[in-house]
Amino acid sequence: MNNIKAIAIKEFIHIVRDRRMLMMIVLMPLIQLLIYGYAINMDVKHLALVVYDQDQTYLSRRLIAAFQQSAYFDVKENLQDATSLRRSLDRGKAKAGLLIPPDFTKEILSGRGVNVQLLIDGTDSNPANVALSSSQAIVSAFVQKEGLLSAEISPLDFRPRLWYNPDLKSSYFMIPGLVGLVLQLFIPMITASAIVREKERGNVEQLLVTPIKSYQLILGKLIPYLCVGVVMYLLIIVAAHLLFGVPIRGNPLTLFALTTLFLTVCLGIGLFASTIAENQQQASQIVMFFASPSILLSGFIFPRETMPTFVYYIGNLIPLTYFVKIIRGVTLKGVGLFDLWDQVIPLMIMAVVILWFSISRFQKRLN
């Protein structure tokens, strides 16, 4: 116990004395948070819309106003011909173009119905989808509001409702996952380089001739980095809550406990990398090697359900996959441990396996 304490105290001194490390611990999560929170905004709103209104009546202007008020579209320009409308789309000045025919009001009032065209730039599928669905909603609301529908009652009153994230804020979706991403990138890296550093600088040679045991060395080294992980976690989650209003609907203690479990897996990865790497640079390369599959395949950004089966199973091997579900579950859905067993058990197995494997590798390398 004393030996573990001795190593841990020493390790804390290393951390505190290493300015760059301290900066990384505080700044890296915050920078990531700002990037994912503000810059990478996948909420599609305020799409540039150009309009060619050939009717120029009260009703046609009401329709344009309905688009403008929806927040999905910003009317950028009223054009005078169809060619310049097409050119706006070609040049990317607008994402959509609304074409209202000359006898718009007349045809509606006569009950014959009328064709209104919306041209959407489909190069980027995501905003295009949003433009498509939101424009349909806008138009049907417009039809109802203006009393243009015959009074027949629809036989099916379909009312979808969004749960957990009713405003579909992408920051709500991204930021909890980001907590996991930052931890899975950073914690293994600093753990591995802290252990490799000791090898690199010849400190291990000196430690070997002392009565310290390898398990004490490992625990003494891991505990401080577990603490670093906890600090980073708290930093991000508090910042996420204060800056982006990300809710924590579930029990914060459950989340804390499960984060610690996830951190244990991260420490194990770091320890494992340290048993392969010869120097600090290699250690961080090994960890970075896993970064991009973690970002892409864990469900952090892209839904895993649509992935090909093989890729889906690879995702099953990534700890972040489970943690992303856990943290989204607790923060957004407010679920508890009972609903999370499917994620917790794989994480537990991962923690045990990787720690056991890395510790035995580490001991072998020492001797």
**Least Cβ distance, residue 198 to other proteins (angstroms):** 9
CA nearest to 224, candidates 25, 36, 51: 25
Cβ proximity to other proteins: between 212 and 295 the closer is 212
- Decide: is 13 part of the binding site for other proteins (CB under 8 A): yes
CB of 168 to other proteins, least distance (A): 49
In the region spanning residues 164 to 203, those forming contacts with other proteins, defined by CB under 8 A, are: 201-203
Under the criterion CB under 8 A, does residue 18 sit at the interface with other proteins?
Answer: yes
- Minimum Å gap between C-beta 223 and other proteins is 15
Residue among 211 and 303 whose Cβ is closer to other proteins:
211
84 binds other proteins (CB under 8 A): no
Asked if 117 is part of the footprint of other proteins (rule: CB under 8 A), the reply reads no
Q: Does 295 bind other proteins (CB under 8 A)?
A: no
CB of 358 to other proteins, least distance (A): 21
Residue 68 to residues 60, 73, 76, 114, 267, Cα–Cα distance (Å): 13, 6, 9, 21, 51
Q: 168, 212, 226, 301: which one contacts other proteins (CB under 8 A)?
A: 212
Nearest distance, CB of residue 195 and other proteins, angstroms: 14
Contact positions vs other proteins (CB under 8 A):
2-3, 5-6, 9-10, 13-14, 17-18, 201-203, 205-212, 367
